[in-house]
Each structure stands twice: as structure tokens, then as C-alpha cells.
Structure 1
């Protein structure tokens, strides 16, 4: 199964590049001034700006995780409760993201992003008692520089280097049946930040034809050291490929295939009992994921709302190979608005 999904991702990249390449005009440049001039809304750092141009953006993302898996196999709640006191059943994460981009030169674009995250997890105890835990707060603050390496023949290539600052909380607590009436530390997925300084790097290739465009982005997130609780989240490696079709001067639709590798958590929080719930055990973290996304971009090219974009994307898993016992990703919905100006 995985082999055929990987073949699909390669085919998507080759087909999109081929179709767009056949439509290229030799003297023209890639441009963001069309509905498919930006990637699907869930893809970050996908484009650069002209000198003196600003862009502000807002995104809302909602992710649902339900059902337990180990590797690629389903695991029942009953089986989990044979080894743990508590089993998770479902988790919802909502994220509000605010971003700003500014280009001091035609080649260099600076980017900053902050977010507000709210998590809720539904769990059940070995005795059959159901309960919820929740956490919320501002996440880690991110800064990046995007540098355009070339832009010719409707093709663009730019690199990204950035840093993520540990401004998000790693001290989230809540009351559980085992701790009542006191609060206890929540497991790793319920924390808001990483607690570490993290480095980000990426490379994005774009190509446009008259009606079709294609993009490919390779990114990595590297954790530097461990946080004050003696653990660090795993490094992440991600590849995104997408094709978009311009249906009109204001409207495009897109298809995307994403592959992600997330390494396990290193170290362990001393305040978490690994045998209480699977999410408190670092062995139950990370994995390999292949997701698909369907989206649309609406762009206003003129008038009072010139350069305003509205975008939606619905993403769903094609393949998941999870390390240990974890909740399975079911769906992700992302909506956003972007506004650029000089």
C-alpha cells in the first residue's frame, strides 16, 4: 500500500511539472498575482514578495484524532486498558494563526508567525469513567527568512531558514479522576509549546503555466537540546507536492499530497507516569504519515479589496504508521484570509 501511495506522490509531482512546463512562455516570470499564486492554505512559507510589499494573514485549523492505532493496526480501548490505567478516545486541536511577511528586497522576504492553540482530549479509565482534559494558550513564536534563488521562465525557487522560540507553555495541567481534587501535568500532546529552541529549513520550487501550476516544498524542523523538563519533541521532515488549476481570474482549485516523518520524543517528563496513559509514554510518539488535501483559493485582483485572498482546504490521511499506541488522525480543516500591499 505504501509503495503505491509514494508512487502517487511522485506521479503528482511529475504530472504537474509536465503540464505547467508545456504552457510556459520563455520570457515570463512566476507571479503571485493570480488565484493559484499561493499554495494551498495549509502550506506555509510557500512564496516570496516584491521589495516593500507586506502581507498579513489569518488561518484557522481544526484537527480531529479518533481511534487508537499501533503501527498501521487498530487497537481497542480494552487492549490499551490492560496495560494502562487510562485510555484516550478522541482529541480535537484548534489553532488560530497570525502571520506577517515583509520584503526589504526583491530577493529577501521576512516572515513571523504566532498562534493560539486549544486542545481537548476525551479519555476513559479502567473502571469505565469517562472524562475530558483541556489546555489552551499562545504557542511558540516563529521567525524565518525566505531567499529567492531564481525566478525565470515561470519558475521560482526559494530557500527558508528560521527559528522557533519556546514561548508556548509546557506546564499545562488539569484535574483527572486519578488526581482529583488536584491538578496533574498533562501528557505531551496536550502541551502548547515545545520548550526548546527549534530550527526550520526548507526549499520550495514553483512553476506556472497558463491554467495549471505546481509546487513542491521540502522542509525540516530540528529540535536543539532538551527543555527544562528534560525532554524534546522529535525532529520533523516534510514533503509537500501540489497541483492547482486556475478556473477563473479569481478562482483556483488544488490537490495536494503530503509526506511527514516525525521522530520519537527524546527524554521523559519526570512528572508524568508512563503507565498512566499511552500519551505520557515517549515511546508512543512520532511516526510516518501520508496525507491528501483538496482546496480552493479565491483571489480579488482589483477594486477596493484588491490582493485579498480567501482559501479553504480539507485534508485526510492516506497512510499512517504510528510509533506505539496513539490516536489516529482523521481529518484537518484549514481556512484563511491573506492581504498583501505595498
Structure 2
């Protein structure tokens, strides 16, 4: 080790010790002749994906958990629908409540300053409670199952009138592989384009105890290769941050191995953040989300006794409002681990067919970058 190198290292150590705000609270990068300083707590909300990029050589590992709760009085479009109307539409039961849980692993690597690569495996669990709404069903049809092409099993997988039945399905879901390319990167304006590919690693053939397929929306995977391009623009000024993102998930196949395909999904999201303290930022987000109905049809035994058994009763449009908080943990150098928590409620829902509306959603994240 040369004397000059020792002297430089000592000077750098003294500088870092005398500048704790930068060493512990800010990530510093150099773009050309411009120094870009990003407060580590000034980050987007926990529920966003593909919302940021990394500098060359950086690696990030993250873990996310998301939960969505649906339930209450069912709706058709934007209006509530009574159990008597659902029965008249040909169903013996309806969704009383459903909980969707998702765990995601974020693995990100930037081979250079322009390109960031990501792999995100998913695990999902759905739990649904059905309510019997047919007075003629006294419990004798619990063991049955409607078959493709007929309504003989009208009671099918339905609980007796006034009773509930809860069932669940879980497993590994699809895996998102994406590449993000920086279009701009300065303190005032950042922009990147992302091309994501959803790999169908999740199952779409889970069955009930009676051998019939579970409801379409309870399968953990999609069973199809999907493309999801997105464009993200963000910026910061002082303690304030903002961002916009548009994405479209395009299903490349008309049906999967089980005979169906989920609808395309479009989302437009906008957010603002405020660095409330040295280690804390607050976020607010509005999202418009639109998804098409299920297409195709199960190619094996399945039920027709509830709205969740029919393809037309999936998808729709939603507007969500979410608020969140991010906290940079007090260790780990300039790229400190961060915890993010976000919770939201729907402001507007126009759902396809008959569905249980969303009630709330939340997301929790833990991330750590390495240089």
C-alpha cells in the first residue's frame, strides 16, 4: 500500500466521520459532472414495483408482503346487489369474504448505471368464505359439483342456506423478470422504462376436495407468459418527492393448461412523498387499475354455483388511495435497510359481473442495497 493511498484513505475516513448526515442519511452518486444526493428515506411506497433503478455494481435484496381483503354486500358494476338478485341470476351462493396474501422476494442487480435487472418470485394464498343464499338448499348438495356445459349441480359446492363455508388455496405464483433502462437521472428528474416478463411458474390446476377446480381467482398462478412494459417518471425537490408510473400487463396466450386466461391489466399510479424526519418519510398515492374478465373456460370438472365460478365475474376498474410510511434503520451505512408500510382503501369500483368489492389493502417491505 503506497503512502499516498494511506493518506487518501485516512482523509476519506476523517471526512466521513465529520459528515454523518451524508454518511448515514444520503446516497451519493455522480452523473457526469453532477453530484446526485438522494435521501435514503425519500422512497416510493411499499406497494410499488419497478419504481426505481440502481447505479452500476449495486445489488438489492428485498422482501415484501401484501394483503387484500374483499367482502360485504356484493356489487354488480358500481351498485350493490341483493342475495335475491344473485339467486335469480342462477347462483346458489356468493362470496362473503376473501383474503389474498402475497409474499415477494426482490432480487435486483445493476451491471452498469443505465441498466437494472430484477427477478421477483411470488408466493400466494387465497382464503374465501362462501355464503349459501338458496332457501331450497338444505345441505344435501354440499358434496356435488357442477360440470362444464350444464347447471345440473346448481347447489354444487355451495353451503346450505344461511350457512358459510371457508376454503383456501396456496402455492408459488408467477415469477417476474424485468429490465429497467434509465432515460434520465438527476436530482430534479428521473425516468426509466421497464420491460417485464411474467414466467408462469405458478400452478393453475388446484382442486377442491371433490375433485373440481377451485375458483379461477384462487389459482396461485396465471399459467400464461405475460409481458408488462412500464414507464416511470419521478423527481425530488428538497424534502418533497413525486412520481408517476404507467404499466400494462399483456397476456400472451388465449388459454393456459387448464383452459382459461386472466384478463389484461392496466395501471396508472401517482405518488408524493415527504421527508418528515431524518429517518422517516411519508407517502401518499392514487392508483387507477383496470383488468379484463377471465377468458376461456376450465377444461375439467368445476362448479357453476357461485359468481366466482364464472369468467365474466372477474376484473373491472378501481381507484385506490394509499398512504404509507418509510423508515431507514439506524445502521448499514449510506444504503441502510429500509422498512416500508402502506395501507389503502378503494375510492371507486366498477366491477365486471357480480363480485365482492375490495375493502382494503396493505403492503409491507424490507429492502437493503449493497454497493
Normalised by the length of structure 1, the TM-score is 0.86
For residue 206 of structure 2, what is the aligned residue in structure 1?
172
* Mean Cα deviation higher: 284-293 or 270-279: 270-279
Is residue 2:204 matched to residue 1:198? Answer: no
For residue 121 of structure 1, what is the aligned residue in structure 2?
128
Alignment of 1:98-177 (within 5 A): 98-125=105-132, 126=134, 127=137, 128=161, 129-175=163-209
Mapped partners of 1:244, 1:288: distance in 2: 25
More strand by share: 1
* Mean Cα deviation higher: 27-36 or 330-339: 27-36
- How far off its partner does 1:153 sit? 4.8
Say which of 36, 57, 62 aligns to 1:57. 62
For residue 14 of structure 1, what is the aligned residue in structure 2?
none
SS class of match (2:313): coil
RMSD across aligned positions (CA) = 1.8
Based on CA coordinates, which of the two structures has the bigger radius of gyration? Answer: 2
For residue 78 of structure 1, what is the aligned residue in structure 2?
84
Contiguous gaps of at least 5 residues in structure 1: 1-26, 176-181
SS class of match (1:35): coil
Task: Deviation per CA, 1:145-196: give whole Å up to 9, x if none.
Answer: 0100111352100000011111111011123xxxxxx232111111100000
Mapped partners of 1:272, 1:286: distance in 2: 23
For residue 95 of structure 1, what is the aligned residue in structure 2?
102
Residues 159 and 305 of structure 1, relative CA distance in 2, 3 Å threshold: closer
- How far off its partner does 1:301 sit? 6.9
Is residue 2:49 matched to residue 1:44? Answer: yes
Is residue 2:258 matched to residue 1:229? Answer: yes
Q: Answer yes or no: is the 8 Å Cα contact 1:30–1:156 preserved in 2.
A: no
Q: Answer yes or no: is the 8 Å Cα contact 2:177–2:198 preserved in 1.
A: yes
Mapped partners of 1:269, 1:31: distance in 2: 53
- How far off its partner does 1:39 sit? 1.0
For residue 17 of structure 1, what is the aligned residue in structure 2?
none
For residue 293 of structure 1, what is the aligned residue in structure 2?
322
Q: Answer yes or no: is the 8 Å Cα contact 1:295–1:311 preserved in 2.
A: yes
Mapped partners of 1:148, 1:51: distance in 2: 11
For residue 66 of structure 1, what is the aligned residue in structure 2?
71
Task: Deviation per CA, 1:122-162: give whole Å up to 9, x if none.
Answer: 00232313211110001001100010011135210000001
Residues 194 and 30 of structure 1, relative CA distance in 2, 3 Å threshold: farther
